[in-house]
Chain A
Amino acid sequence: MITDSPTVTAVAPAPDGAPIPGPLLTPQPDSSGGGGSVPDLPTLSFQDDVTSIFASWTPGEWIGYSSLVLLSLALTVIALTTLWWMLHAWRSDGHLSRTAFAAEAKPAHLSFSLLVPGRHEEEVMGETLDVLARQDHPDFEIIAIVGHDDPGTEAVCRAAAARHPGLIKVIVDDSVPKNKPKALNLALTVARGQVIGVFDAEDEVHPHLLSLVDTKFKDTGADVVQGGVQLMNFRSSWWSLRNVLEYYFWFRSRLHFQAEAKFIPLGGNTVFARREWLDWSDGWDDQCLAEDCELGVRLSSAGANIVVAYSPEVATREETPGTLKSLYKQRTRWNQGFLQVLRKGEWRKLPTFRQRMFARYLLSMPFLQAATGLLIPLSLVLILFVKVPTPIALLSFLPIAPTLVTIAVEAAGLGEFGRVYGIKPRVRDYVRLVLGTFPYQVFLALASVRSVIRQLRGINSWEKTEHSGAHRDAAEERRQPELVLGGVR
């Protein structure tokens, strides 16, 4: 820019010993004229500033800041993937229409055996069996499994069997200790249907469900069909609202994503599998705390065609656990079950690397949640009490972004849930939804921490839930595999 000036070119270069500028800030190459022509170049004032951005950090700050950044990024990735999968069904209208049952059932072509294990369920099981018996499918049988030490439930079941002769069988499980997979495996020995379905003792099942499931098998050539399950009582408490929404998004959307990814942790009920596959799998794994998930993983790994279908009107209806404590224990068991499945390693047989990575990620989720749970207080302390550089402070807020989008989506979901099931949510429910977000995350993190601890310490047992008389309390157990150690109870 100064080439036309006659006087500057021949002038001395910068004096010896002048600081050599670093690559980041080379102001101007000497050849370009400008700065190089000036003798006694003063120290550029911005040199110090540049180096000071990083250099002034102490080792402690380095560690603190980088762990904060890593934590933020990890949390963000987890929240984003979870959000994206949660929204799977609504990615496009094609996605949505594929997730439903057929509108009209076709003529039946399969026979069904419906297994209903029950333990201390005398209050609800009779009605459950009556409702199941009203299925409009022409070819099915119901097998109720009760414990030899549970005469009350057995009596209720036998009464139901008498009301529906030829339809309901009652078999007695005398194994010790008892659990749900054992009961199911026992029933499998007497079941005659081409398709085996599982229900829990308190399930409210739509009478048209079997016909639709039959059609789904026919239309898709499925080996396994997972139907929808829906918790209903979102007004009971702040956490029941969250629990209900979890189910809604899981069955309405997320499971379809799992099906597409060909890796499905199956649910505990409203699941239908072809007999051949259950024979292949040797029934359910009675050592696992999440036998339903475990079966799903094995079937997925073996390449079974698992189809998920959800239509709100025929979803099986349930209630949330009666207390936060039982939800906590339930969640601990699920998490621990996931960790068991992770360790068992059946998922390594999944055909593609992508599926294996996905399985590993999904099954490790309790670990990840636990880790983030432990780091939440750390990052809070850092943000509140340590003066953090602005970019890092901004970055630490990053995980909040997907979380807030998730809340918006959940609010939309609550609205839709209300419309679909005819219970209009009130403003109060939305407020609960928003305010409950953080406590529920903490709650989930705590359950994860606990499950990891239990898993690491090798506590593999069913933990006793107070069962004395409180029926609502018992509801929670019914949903779950019961690995009861005789001594504990």
Chain B
Amino acid sequence: MSRVLERPTTAPPVLHGPEPIPAPRRHRGGSRAGRWFSVHARSISWLAPVLLIAGLVQAIGMAGSPQRIDDEGTYTAQAWSIAKLGEIAHYTYWYDHPPLGWLQLALYGQATFAFDRYDVAVIAMREAMLVAMVVSAALLWLLARKVGLSRAAASAAALLFAVSPLAVQFHRTVYLDNVALPWLLAAFLLAMTKRNQLAGFAGAALAFGIAVLSKETFLLALPVLAWVMWRSSNKATRRYTLSVAGSVLVLVGGTYLLLAGVKGEIFPGPDRVSLTSGIAFQLANRESSGSAFDPDSLLSATLGQWLQLDPVILVGGAVAALAGLFARQLRPFAVLYLGFLAVIFRPGGYTPVPFVIGMLPFAALLIAWGAETAIRAARRRGVRTRAVGIAGIAIALTGAIVAAPVWATQLRGLWLADLDRPLRDAQSWVSENVSRGDRVVVDDAMWVDLVESGFPRDNVIWYYKVDTDSDVQDMLPNGWQDFDYVVTTGSMRTFPDNFPQVAQALDNSRVVAEFGTGTQAVEIRKVYPEGIEAADEAEGFAGERRQAFGGELASNPRLTIDPESEALLTGGGVNESLTLALGQLLSTHELTIAGFPAIAGEDGVVRRQVLITSVDGEAVTPGSGAGSDLAGWFAALGGSYDADETAIGTDGLTARYSID
């Protein structure tokens, strides 16, 4: 101030010329980063281990549990289509969900070469889920700090969010909700910006828009987000900050409309998809999940699954939310959580299974806040306050005691169980044993992998599209009779009635290979276009022939064979072409056969593989003359006697025949 008063009117600036401006101080990158680290050292020392633990808990065994489901495969295939085909979906995009979620997955896949790094495409996308979860956990930590939790409590919230078995199961699964969640949390964080509020609000609106376009159910959070924004908005600038935020949000939402507009698909028309019918499907045509009090309802099943994985976090979240209603900072999140609960229990509504993903961070936040508040209250003086605090601690401890054993069991399973193995084995079986010209109806979980293994896209048909997509139906003039194989999974077997063509194909098919058991079981079924009765009849004759040929073969003196395999032969348990080829071979050579090894997944069906250990007394080994002669002999066979594959190992030559 004094400087101004002593303004040198006698020495005008003209004399000095303009004052030199000091050159802008340059910070070396290192020192600036160093300062940032020293300022945030305490936070980092809390957050970094939390994120590490969260990441490890999710990453360990992520490819094995849970078993891949159809939805995961669908989002993966759509992301893969964007990345590899430049198309927005692997079938006609029909506005079931806005595409931004899998667009981000595609970007991740392209930027990190994830699709190339994994054999199983869905697992590549599970890696993206891992990244999304770590980002969400970090954002949740920041959000917790923002609403006043200590570093310890914020870390507890982030850990709860990341390591509850319910969370691990759903965070691993390739759901769009997991993609949307970081954006939702970022939106809330930005909506509480104080400095640079305009940019913060614009960012919040953008992030929320992305969240909604990634998973439309997150739109439910809009009123609460608007409330949080209004509360933290500065009165003097509110007019502008909220206008900007509102218009940004509308714009981001508008891009979806624009996409439909550009494609000319806003309104329904004959034989075309449209935005309106997509939305109508989600809002109206979804079947109600039923009542939570009806033990057979879909909702009960969903809730049962949630509670089985973690009986505490959702209930604890609800208890903490009721308390949180009385705390100014937490109130919006308490309302949000209770609102989510109300949506689940609303009569007649449809509750998607992954809906819980949007609830978990807020449950974790509320529980951590509740526990910390209770501990603080218990330390205070007033009798009442202490009583409330001690009660809170008691509730928290009860929850922990209930949760501990369940968590231990479930996490153990999530880390160690390889529930996905049946699917992988089934895929291997299909890619090895099914001709690329055959039509295979599959669960989307293996769609990308089969296409990448060389099946033409049109020959790998997602079962859901058989009865719903006219483009697919055009390729199948004879309906289910144009299928060669159906690979069934748990999700396919759940609603057999919804897909009549698939159901008919299943009725007229026979299991040729089976992997896993129970709900994880995966069956490969060969479809008989002529109908199962005709197929059964034909099989009856074929069985008789196998018995006859097998019996003759077994009695051939030139054949050396163990009794068990002999029984297989005489019982008609060996493939007819294989039996005939062996008969042919025995007419000129002596053979020792070690058995008819079952191909993985084919226990209990006709054997179509033989292991020959010696020819004319000479051992068949790699590099041996007998081995190459024998391989040459098989290769020279023609017609239906032609072996599918032959391979020479240390124990002999294996010849494999295709299914009759």
Cβ–Cβ contact A1 & B119, under 8 A: yes
Residue of B nearest to A53 (CB): B86
Cβ–Cβ contact B255 & A408, under 8 A: no
A422 part of interface (Cβ distance < 8 Å): no
User: Given the known A-B contacts A1-B427, A35-B453, A87-B198, are A49 and B86 also in contact in the complex, defined by CB atoms under 8 Å?
Assistant: yes
Q: Contact check: which of A32, A221, A408 meets B243 at CB < 8 Å?
A: A408
Q: Contact check: which of A41, A219, A276 meets B13 at CB < 8 Å?
A: A276
Cβ–Cβ contact A394 & B258, under 8 A: yes
Most buried by A among B246, B428, B431, B454: B454
A307 to B299, CA, bound (A): 65
Residue of A nearest to B448 (CB): A27
Q: Contact check: which of A38, A96, A279, A394 meets B436 at CB < 8 Å?
A: A38
User: Given the known A-B contacts A7-B656, A46-B457, are A409 and B251 also in contact in the complex, defined by CB atoms under 8 Å?
Assistant: no
Interface-facing stretch out of A8-16, A65-73, A113-121, A338-346: A8-16
Cβ–Cβ contact A390 & B259, under 8 A: yes
A8 to B600, CA, bound (A): 13
A415 to B243, CA, bound (A): 12
Chain B, residues 255-270, CB within 8 Å of chain A (1/0): the string is 1001100110000000
Interface-facing stretch out of B163-171, B232-240, B350-358, B551-559: B232-240
Chain A, residues 380-401, CB within 8 Å of chain B (1/0): the string is 0000000000100110010001
Cβ–Cβ contact A405 & B428, under 8 A: no
Cβ–Cβ contact A408 & B119, under 8 A: no
Chain A, residues 27-50, CB within 8 Å of chain B (1/0): the string is 111001111011011101110011
Cβ–Cβ contact A390 & B262, under 8 A: yes
Query: How many Å from the CB of A462 to the closest CB on chain B?
Result: 31
Cβ–Cβ contact A5 & B428, under 8 A: yes
A233 to B17, CA, bound (A): 43
B40 part of interface (Cβ distance < 8 Å): no
B-side contacts of A223, CB under 8 Å? 13
B58 part of interface (Cβ distance < 8 Å): no
Cβ–Cβ contact B197 & A92, under 8 A: yes
B-side contacts of A378, CB under 8 Å? none
Interface residues of B in 70-117 (CB under 8 A from A): 84-87, 116
Cβ–Cβ contact A303 & B197, under 8 A: no
User: Given the known A-B contacts A32-B119, A35-B453, A390-B262, are A90 and B237 also in contact in the complex, defined by CB atoms under 8 Å?
Assistant: yes
Q: Contact check: which of B13, B194, B262, B454 meets A35 at CB < 8 Å?
A: B454
Residue of A nearest to B648 (CB): A10
Interface residues of B in 15-37 (CB under 8 A from A): 17-21, 24
A-side contacts of B449, CB under 8 Å? 34
User: Given the known A-B contacts A92-B196, A405-B244, are A303 and B239 also in contact in the complex, defined by CB atoms under 8 Å?
Assistant: no
A189 part of interface (Cβ distance < 8 Å): no
Cβ–Cβ contact B4 & A219, under 8 A: yes
B451 part of interface (Cβ distance < 8 Å): yes
Cβ–Cβ contact B243 & A28, under 8 A: no
A-side contacts of B451, CB under 8 Å? 44-46
A91 to B251, CA, bound (A): 20
B607 part of interface (Cβ distance < 8 Å): no
User: Given the known A-B contacts A7-B656, A91-B198, A277-B13, are A221 and B236 also in contact in the complex, defined by CB atoms under 8 Å?
Assistant: no
A163 to B378, CA, bound (A): 81
A-side contacts of B239, CB under 8 Å? 90, 412, 415-416
Q: Contact check: which of B196, B454, B600 meets A44 at CB < 8 Å?
A: B454
B-side contacts of A4, CB under 8 Å? 600
Q: Contact check: which of B247, B263, B648 meets A408 at CB < 8 Å?
A: B247
B211 part of interface (Cβ distance < 8 Å): no
Most buried by B among A1, A41, A87, A219: A1
Cβ–Cβ contact A408 & B649, under 8 A: no
User: Given the known A-B contacts A10-B647, A390-B263, A411-B243, are A194 and B9 also in contact in the complex, defined by CB atoms under 8 Å?
Assistant: yes
A-side contacts of B85, CB under 8 Å? 46, 49-50
User: Given the known A-B contacts A49-B85, A49-B87, are A280 and B198 also in contact in the complex, defined by CB atoms under 8 Å?
Assistant: no
A304 part of interface (Cβ distance < 8 Å): yes
Instruction: Tell me the A residues contacting B by CB distance below 8 Å.
Output: 1-2, 4-11, 24-29, 32-35, 37-38, 40-42, 44-46, 49-50, 53, 87, 90-94, 96-97, 109, 194, 218-221, 223, 274-277, 279-280, 301-304, 351-352, 390, 393-394, 397, 401, 404-405, 407-409, 411-413, 415-416
- 25 A-B pairs, CB-CB below 8 angstroms? A1-B120, A1-B427, A5-B428, A6-B597, A7-B432, A10-B649, A28-B116, A28-B119, A34-B449, A38-B436, A44-B451, A49-B85, A49-B86, A91-B196, A92-B195, A92-B197, A223-B13, A280-B14, A304-B13, A390-B263, A393-B262, A397-B258, A404-B251, A408-B246, A409-B244
Q: For the A-B complex with A5-B428, A49-B86, A93-B236 known, give 9 more contacts whose Cβ atoms are closer than 8 Å.
A: A37-B431, A38-B436, A45-B457, A50-B86, A109-B5, A276-B13, A351-B21, A397-B258, A408-B246
